[in-house]
Amino acid sequence: MLHGQLAADLIVRPPNTHSRTRPKMSLSFHIDFNGQCEEAFGFYAERLGGRIGTMLRVKDSPVPTSSESQKEKIVHANICIDDVEWLAQT
């Protein structure tokens, strides 16, 4: 039982030693929003308290495009919600 083992491990160790010596685990997701990345991230920022870090459009990136409609699409974005990083694109 992992939960029980972890709880026992934290109780046995002296106070404050585990947080200084163990690296913090992180989690991230990469999602394609099918053209609605900017709207989705706006929703998550407003409703879930997310912090948008990057919102890179095709026109501002080195990605070549010949289509005028593609230039406004999001090629990369990230938002952090409760210490979980979400990476996305349109």
Domains and CATH numbers, the chain: 24-89 (3.10.180.10)
| Residues sharing a CB contact under 8 Å with residue 85, sequence separation 6 or more, in sequence order | 26, 27, 28, 29, 78, 79
pLDDT tens track for 19-66: 566 667 777 788 888 889 999 999 999 999 999 999 999 999 998 887
Identity at 64, one-letter amino acid code: P
pLDDT tens track for 57-80: 999 999 888 788 889 899 999 999
